[in-house]
A and B are shown apart, each in its own frame.
Chain A
Amino acid sequence: MAQEQTFSDYSGGMNALAAVDKLDPKECLLAENVRLDETGNIASAGAFTQQNTSAYADSLGNKNAHSLYWNPSLGGVAGVGQDVFQATQLGSFVSSLAGKNTAQQKMSFASAPNRVYFDVGSVGYWSDMTNLLLVDWVPPSAGAAGGGFNSAAGNFSAGTSSNYGFSLSTATNLGGISSTIICTNIVTAGPKFPVTVTLTVNASLIVGGVIAGTGTS
C-alpha cells in the first residue's frame, strides 16, 4: 500500500558527525549557498557582490587580499600582496604603503578613536585614513648639544668653486659646518731631498649665499 512522508523542516543545517542515515530529519549533508530560513524552508543564499570595479594589486601584480578591515565610521584597510591599501570606501582603496609586507603576512587590526592600528610584517602601523605611518614616532632632533654630525668626504679636485664635489645634507635646518683637509704627498720620482711642497688652502664661509669671510692656510 502506497505511503507518503513529507519533509518540511530543514532548519537543522549540515551535520558531519552523525551517520549519514541517522541525521535528524531537519539536518542535511550539504547546504552550499543555501539559506535555511526561520520557517524551515530552503532558499538560495545571498550573492556576493564586488565592491571595487577593478582589481587591487600591489606593484608586483600580487592580488591576494589577505587582510581586511572595515569600519564605516573610519574607513577600510586591506593588505593586498606586499602593499597596504586604504580608503574611506571599500570600493576606492589606494595603495598607501608599498612593498613592506614582503611575506604577505596576514595583518591584524585594532580599532581606536579616529585610528586603526595594525601590523605589517610584524611592524606596528596605524592609519587615520589620511596618514598611514609607523607607530614608532621619531622625536624631534636637537642640533647643537644633542645632535650628531653628518660627514662626507672626497677629493677636492672633483669640486667646483661652490661645492665640495660630494654631497652633504640639503636639509634646511643644518646646525653648522666644519671641514678638515688632509693632503698626502708621496714622492715617487726626482731628487730625494730637499723637497719643498707648498699647499695653500683657502676656505670661504658662505652665509646667505655670499662669502662672509675667507681664511687661508
Chain B
Amino acid sequence: MPTLTPAQVNASNFGVVYSANHGVLSTPFVTAYQQTVGFVAGTGTAGTLTGTYTWKLTFVGTNGEESDASLPSSTIILSTQQGTLTGIPLGDGRTASRNIYRKGFATGTPLTLYYLVGSIPDNTTTVYSDNLTDIAAITAGTILAGDVPGDFPNSRLSNLQVRFPVYHYDRVFWVNQNQPNQVIWSKPLDGFAYPVVNFFNVGDSKPIVRLISIFGELIIIKTDSIWRLTGTDETSFDLTQTPSAVGTDMPFTIVALPDKILFANRWGLWVFNGYTSQPLTTKLDLWFKQDDRTNEELFGVNGFHPPEVASPTVPQNFDATGNSEKYYLSYAEAGQTANNALLVFDVKHGNITKRQTGIPLPLSLAVDPVTGFVYMGDNTGFVSLLDDWNGANSGGAATNFDFQSGYVDLQRGSNKSLWALEFLLDTDGQSLTPSVYYDSGTAGETLAPLSTVGLQRVVRPVQATNSRKMQNFSWRLNGSINPVNKSGQPQIQIVHVKALYDIRTGRARTGQT
C-alpha cells in the first residue's frame, strides 16, 4: 500500500471501492465509516519544531470576535520539522481569519498550554505550516481562551433560548427563556462567546421582560419590579432591586429615552427615572380601566376605545417607540387581537393625540436614532414613515382628521342658548364637517361643511332644539383630508373657535302665580 499524505487522504476523490464475488448466496452488506470533516495534523518539511504537539483552531470574526476552539488534533511527533495542518475548515460568513494554537507534550517543550502560533488571515486557505518556535510562541504570550485558570472558553450560545438582547459595556446581554428570570451575557467585545459563569438570576421566578442599558447601568424590568445592575465589568457588577412598585408584562412598550424609561402596563403609562417609577400621566387612568366614552360623549369616525388589557397575550404585542419629543404607543383596542390603534404622548408638552386607526394595523414601531423619525411596520407588508410633514396622505389614502372639544359649560349651573359658532381656520380648499353635541352628548346636530382658502372666519348657526337650552356643548370637526400636507405645511389649521350665546335667566319657583 502507498504511503499517503494528509492532503491525499483529505482529497475528495479519496475512497475505497469494493467488489465481491460470492456466487449465489446472499448480498454482502457493507457498512462504511468515513471520518468526519475536520483538520488533520501531520508532519511537514524540515523546520524548527521538535517534540510532540497537538493543535487547536478558532475562527476569528470581522470585529475581532473569536469562536470557541476546536477539539485538539491528533498528536504529532516532530523532529526538526514543521507541523502541517490540512483540511482546515472554513468558517461561516462572519469569519475573517483563523487562529492556530499549539500545545507541546514532549520533554523540554514548554508549551503546557495552547499558545497562539499563527493565524490564517483569510477564510479560504485550508492548509498551514507551523514553524514557530516554542519560545517565540511563549514570548508572544497569547494563550487560548479558557486555558488559563480564571479565564473561560469562548463557549457557544448553543441551543439556549434567548430574547431581549441589549448591548451594555461591550457585552451582549440576553434573557434566558429557559429560565426567564435569568440574564446571561457575553464576553466583552465578543457577542458570540458566552462563558458558563456569565449569568445571574433576578429575584423570584417571575420573568424578565426587557433589558435596557441607560445611566451607565443595566435596567432589568420584570413583570412586577425593576432591577438595576451597576458596575462596569464582571468584577464590579452588582444587582439590586429598585423601589419601583410596578413593572410590566408588555415588553415592547418599554422605550429608553436619554433621561428616562417610559413603559405601559395594564394600568397606564409610567416613567422610570432611574430610581423609581411614577405615572407618566393621569389622563388615561379611566381609559386603561376600560372607560369607553365612544359614541356616548365622544364621537368621531374611530372614537377612542380603551386598550385591550384583559387578554393575557394580546398586550404583550403592544409596541412603542419614542424620541425626545414623543412616545408612540401601538395598541389593540379592547376586543381586538392585534394592534390597531396608535397613541402619541408629547413628552415635552404632556398632551396626548391619536393617529390613524384601522387598516393598516400598526404592528411594530421603530425610531431612527439619528433623526428621531418614527417608522411603522403594518399588517399589509409595508414600512411607513409616521408624522411625515412632507407626506401627502396616509399610505396613499386620505387622512381622517377628527377633533372634538370637551363639553364647554359657559356658565356653570345656567341654561344657555347657543346661537352660532365662529371658526377661524384655513382648510386650503378642503372640506371639514362641523358637528355640535349638547349636554354631554345627549343630543347633537351636524352643521354645513366648512371650506376656506386662506385663513378666514366662518360662522355656522346652530339650530337644534337643544341648542337653546343646553347646559354644555362640544364641537367637532371631521374631514377626509388629501393631501394632508402640501410643501411641508399642514392643510388644516384651526386658530380659534368662538361661541355666540345667551344666558337663559332662571326664574325662582315661588309658588306665586
Chain A residues in 8 Å Cβ range of B365: 68
The answer, among B191, B286, B383, B498, for a CB contact under 8 Å with A117, is B191
How distant is A27 from chain B, measured CB to nearest CB, in Å? 6
Interface string of B105-116 (1 = CB under 8 A from A): 000000000000
- For chain A, residues 1 to 37, give those with C-beta under 8 angstroms from any C-beta of chain B: 1-8, 10-18, 20-25, 27-36
Cβ contacts A to B, 14 pairs, < 8 Å: A16-B283, A20-B293, A21-B472, A30-B304, A31-B353, A78-B383, A117-B167, A135-B162, A140-B89, A163-B15, A166-B32, A174-B36, A175-B38, A180-B30
In contact, B380 and A204 (Cβ under 8 angstroms): no
Given contacts A45-B353, A117-B191, A156-B30, contact A6 B498 (CB under 8 A): yes
Bound form: Cα–Cα A156–B21 in Å: 11
In contact, A175 and B36 (Cβ under 8 angstroms): yes
Residue B513 is within 8 A (CB to CB) of chain A in the complex: no
Beyond contacts A20-B297, A141-B39, A142-B70: 6 other A-B pairs, Cβ-Cβ < 8 A, are A46-B389, A65-B381, A72-B371, A122-B163, A153-B29, A181-B31
Chain A residues in 8 Å Cβ range of B419: 2
Given contacts A67-B364, A176-B35, contact A7 B405 (CB under 8 A): yes
In contact, B379 and A65 (Cβ under 8 angstroms): yes
In contact, A43 and B38 (Cβ under 8 angstroms): no
How distant is A98 from chain B, measured CB to nearest CB, in Å? 15
- For chain A, residues 110 to 139, give those with C-beta under 8 angstroms from any C-beta of chain B: 110-115, 117-119, 122-124, 126, 128, 130-131, 133-139
Interface centre among A137, A184, A209 (most CB of B within 10 A): A137
Residue B403 is within 8 A (CB to CB) of chain A in the complex: yes
Residue pairs across A and B with CB atoms within 8 Å: the count is: 625
In contact, B68 and A70 (Cβ under 8 angstroms): no
In contact, A172 and B39 (Cβ under 8 angstroms): no
Residue B202 is within 8 A (CB to CB) of chain A in the complex: no
In contact, B162 and A124 (Cβ under 8 angstroms): yes
The answer, among B159, B161, B370, for a CB contact under 8 Å with A73, is B370
How distant is B366 from chain A, measured CB to nearest CB, in Å? 4
Interface string of B1-32 (1 = CB under 8 A from A): 11010001111111111111111011111111
Chain B residues in 8 Å Cβ range of A198: 22-23
Residue A194 is within 8 A (CB to CB) of chain B in the complex: no
Given contacts A44-B399, A142-B57, A145-B54, contact A64 B379 (CB under 8 A): yes
In contact, B59 and A14 (Cβ under 8 angstroms): no
Chain B residues in 8 Å Cβ range of A51: 375, 382-385
In contact, A155 and B27 (Cβ under 8 angstroms): yes
Given contacts A33-B402, A36-B353, A145-B72, contact A156 B29 (CB under 8 A): yes
In contact, B72 and A146 (Cβ under 8 angstroms): yes
In contact, B354 and A31 (Cβ under 8 angstroms): yes
In contact, B34 and A152 (Cβ under 8 angstroms): yes
How distant is A40 from chain B, measured CB to nearest CB, in Å? 8
Bound form: Cα–Cα A47–B281 in Å: 26
Bound form: Cα–Cα A122–B164 in Å: 9
Number of A residues with CB within 8 Å of any CB on chain B: 153
Interface centre among B30, B31, B192, B365 (most CB of A within 10 A): B30
How distant is B379 from chain A, measured CB to nearest CB, in Å? 5
The answer, among B39, B299, B396, for a CB contact under 8 Å with A143, is B39
Given contacts A8-B495, A49-B391, contact A201 B18 (CB under 8 A): yes
In contact, B492 and A44 (Cβ under 8 angstroms): yes
In contact, B380 and A55 (Cβ under 8 angstroms): yes
In contact, B86 and A173 (Cβ under 8 angstroms): yes
- For chain B, residues 448 to 492, give those with C-beta under 8 angstroms from any C-beta of chain A: 471-472, 474, 476, 481, 483-485, 490-492
Bound form: Cα–Cα A111–B364 in Å: 17
In contact, B405 and A142 (Cβ under 8 angstroms): no
Interface string of B62-92 (1 = CB under 8 A from A): 1101011111111100000000001111011
Nearest to B291 among chain A residues (CB) is: A16
- For chain B, residues 346 to 360, give those with C-beta under 8 angstroms from any C-beta of chain A: 346, 349-357
Given contacts A65-B363, A68-B364, contact A123 B383 (CB under 8 A): no
How distant is B471 from chain A, measured CB to nearest CB, in Å? 8
In contact, A56 and B381 (Cβ under 8 angstroms): yes
Residue B174 is within 8 A (CB to CB) of chain A in the complex: yes
Chain B residues in 8 Å Cβ range of A169: 34, 36-37
Given contacts A55-B380, A56-B382, A122-B177, contact A173 B18 (CB under 8 A): no
Residue A60 is within 8 A (CB to CB) of chain B in the complex: no
In contact, A13 and B351 (Cβ under 8 angstroms): yes
Nearest to B171 among chain A residues (CB) is: A112
How distant is A58 from chain B, measured CB to nearest CB, in Å? 9
How distant is A46 from chain B, measured CB to nearest CB, in Å? 4
Bound form: Cα–Cα A7–B365 in Å: 35
How distant is B125 from chain A, measured CB to nearest CB, in Å? 12
The answer, among A13, A161, A206, for a CB contact under 8 Å with B19, is A161
In contact, B158 and A41 (Cβ under 8 angstroms): no
Interface string of A56-85 (1 = CB under 8 A from B): 110000011111111111001011100000
Chain A residues in 8 Å Cβ range of B349: 11, 13, 36, 38
Given contacts A50-B383, A114-B63, A123-B161, contact A140 B495 (CB under 8 A): no
